[in-house]
């Protein structure tokens, strides 16, 4: 059974209002480790720490970091990306196998020298930079947010050691292992899942990354602001596929990072079930 880390900070806003309470059925499980930004004593477990400026500068420019300091969201952004970095380090040390990271100000629209869509810093990119320094060589990122992961693409555009497969509005591929998959509006769950099976999974199996990062945006859900017409349950099936390939190619090392999506009911439905999938627990809630 995989050991799953949950990295949680208390962000303002509507979409995570039911958290962490809605996770209660999971937090008691012996293979679920909970890293909380405020209550280090919750379930006697662990503490989520913000990232240092020094680590930010491995990916982002000093100018950009200074700009974000003036937004009023700087500290929250440090926790948002801190979860991804800490998850990577905990997996590297063998304390957990996979992770779900809650964010409020990340991730995939933050590039080297720009940010947008309230993505200030890029947690996946900073985690990859940290892992590279410690000897890891190959990474895959799959992005199922509705929008193009322009920040992540910017950071790794000429870095062939990072396979970046982005489900968005265009078809694209190049010699640096950068791939876009066009998802039309009004698609179906089956068509979306087929793209994951036919395009992402074979590429990951051939590429053999040591870690997989999943930028999990649920703004693709019917009724959301990036509506592609897929159902809530499609996300759970995506989690099964992404976890399955991580188990097959990289001993289960998978970090899911929350990206876009605004609806509280969709977050409350999908996230606990995705975490249960990662932890190989029943997802009947
Ligand atoms: Zn989005
Ligand atoms: Zn894209």
The answer to whether residue 44 scores a pLDDT higher than 60 is no
What is the mean predicted confidence (pLDDT) over 252-265? 97
d(CA 200, CA 194): 10
Distance 144 CA to ligand 2 centre (A): 9
Which residues share a beta bridge with 139?
162, 211
For tokens 């405020």, what's the residue? 38
Which residues share a beta bridge with 216?
258
Distance 111 CA to ligand 2 centre (A): 14
pLDDT on residue 43: 52
Distance 105 CA to ligand 1 centre (A): 12
Distance 47 CA to ligand 2 centre (A): 34
Q: Which residue has the higher pLDDT, 281 or 283?
A: 281
pLDDT on residue 172: 98
Distance 147 CA to ligand 1 centre (A): 4
Return the minimum-mean-pLDDT range out of 101-105, 154-158, 225-229.
Answer: 101-105
Residue 216: which of 270, 180, 139 has the closest Cα? 270
Give the tokens for residue 162. 């990072």
Distance 26 CA to ligand 2 centre (A): 33
pTM of the model: 0.96
Distance 167 CA to ligand 1 centre (A): 10
What is the mean predicted confidence (pLDDT) over 231-257? 98
DSSP state of 95: S
* Helices H / strands E in the chain, number of each: 10, 10
pLDDT on residue 13: 83
Residue 15: which of 163, 153, 118, 95 has the closest Cα? 118
């Amino acid at each position: 059974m995989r050991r799953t880390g949950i990295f949680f900070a208390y962000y303002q806003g509507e979409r995570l209002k039911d958290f962490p309470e809605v996770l209660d059925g999971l937090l008691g499980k012996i293979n679920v480790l909970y890293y909380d930004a405020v209550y280090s004593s919750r379930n006697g477990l662990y503490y989520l720490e913000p990232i240092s400026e020094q680590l930010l500068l491995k990916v982002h420019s000093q100018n950009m970091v200074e700009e974000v300091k003036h937004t009023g969201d700087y500290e929250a952004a440090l926790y948002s990306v801190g979860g991804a970095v800490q998850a990577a380090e905990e997996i590297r040390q063998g304390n957990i196998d996979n992770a779900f990271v809650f964010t409020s100000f990340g991730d995939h629209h933050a590039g080297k020298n720009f940010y947008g869509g309230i993505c200030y810093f890029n947690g996946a990119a900073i985690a990859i930079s940290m892992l590279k320094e410690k000897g890891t060589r190959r990474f895959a990122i799959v992005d199922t947010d509705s929008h193009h992961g322009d920040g992540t693409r910017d950071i790794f555009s000429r870095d062939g050691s990072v396979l970046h497969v982005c489900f968005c509005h265009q078809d694209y591929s190049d010699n640096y292992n950068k791939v876009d998959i066009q998802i039309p509006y009004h698609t179906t769950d089956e068509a979306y899942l087929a793209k994951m099976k036919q395009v992402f999974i074979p590429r990951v199996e051939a590429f053999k990354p040591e870690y997989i990062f999943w930028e999990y945006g649920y703004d693709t859900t019917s009724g959301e602001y990036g509506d592609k017409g897929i159902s809530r349950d499609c996300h759970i099936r995506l989690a099964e596929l992404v976890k399955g390939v991580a188990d097959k190619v990289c001993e289960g090392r998978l970090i899911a990072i929350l990206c876009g999506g605004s609806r509280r009911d969709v977050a409350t439905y999908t996230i606990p079930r995705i975490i249960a999938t990662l932890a190989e627990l029943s997802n009947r809630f």
